[in-house]
Amino acid sequence: NAGVTQTPKFQVLKTGQSMTLQCAQDMNHEYMSWYRQDPGMGLRLIHYSVGAGITDQGEVPNGYNVSRSTTEDFPLRLLSAAPSQTSVYFCASRPRDHYEQYFGPGTRLTVT
Amino acid sequence: LAKTTQPISMDSYEGQEVNITCSHNNIATNDYITWYQQFPSQGPRFIIQGYKTKVTNEVASLFIPADRKSSTLSLPRVSLSDTAVYYCLVGLYSGAGSYQLTFGKGTKLSVIP
């Protein structure tokens, strides 16, 4: 199993550009989540999904959209990037009845 | 969301036992507690989870008092490779099997030779 994969590893955007961070898992996990990590802030939940077709907002959802059309994929979209979205983004997944989350390697995003 | 509070940093010598305490005053009956470890430039990695009393696995122990307003992660005989940031995570049960998960700000553990 590849586990949780994220692409790209690094990305630089200009203010106002859009992009999609990709996340995929091959463990057939129902739950998937997106977090952002800023220095000194720990990890903050952006959006999460409890299954295909179901998504919900986390702590800091503004400026981000998600969809879950398949069990495997959970892309995160930035419609109009802002410098405040400069961060490291982590995707995670877990089975429905288990508490252990599996994290991807992260995407480091810089918005200038 | 349940708020968690942890010490910002801790230092320990190799071979010592390290205890990191997390406060979560607003934890509810159906919430659970997990701890994660994170090395630089990597995603967090699960260490242990618990609901009440004491849980032990091959790498750590988790102590949760009866009121569940705090939890303590115990790492026995730490080594240099245990230098990392440790996060306390509270699972907030929001119905229908859906959990929102809140990370604390993490405790940076530095192990000294």
Give CA A34 to chain center in angstroms: 3
End-to-end CA distance of chain B: 39
| Mean local confidence (pLDDT), A70-92 | 97
Q: pLDDT of B47-96, one tens digit each?
A: 999 998 899 999 999 999 999 999 999 999 999 999 999 999 887 655 55
* Cβ atoms within 10 Å of A83's Cβ, excluding its own: 11
Q: Is B43 within 8 Å of A103 when comparing Cβ atoms?
A: yes
- Residue A59 in contact with partner chain B when CB distance is under 8 A: yes
Least Cα distance to B54 among B42, B40, B68 occurs for B68
Q: pLDDT of A1-20, one tens digit each?
A: 789 999 999 999 999 999 99
Position B92 scores a pLDDT of: 62
Q: Is B101 within 8 Å of A101 when comparing Cβ atoms?
A: yes
Mean pLDDT of chain B: 88
Q: Is B98 within 8 Å of A50 when comparing Cβ atoms?
A: yes
Q: pLDDT of A45-66, one tens digit each?
A: 899 999 999 999 988 999 999 9
Strands (E), B24-79: 32-38, 45-50, 53-56, 61-64, 70-75
Two tokens, residue B91: 């699972």
- Pick B43's closest partner by Cβ from A42, A59, A105: A105
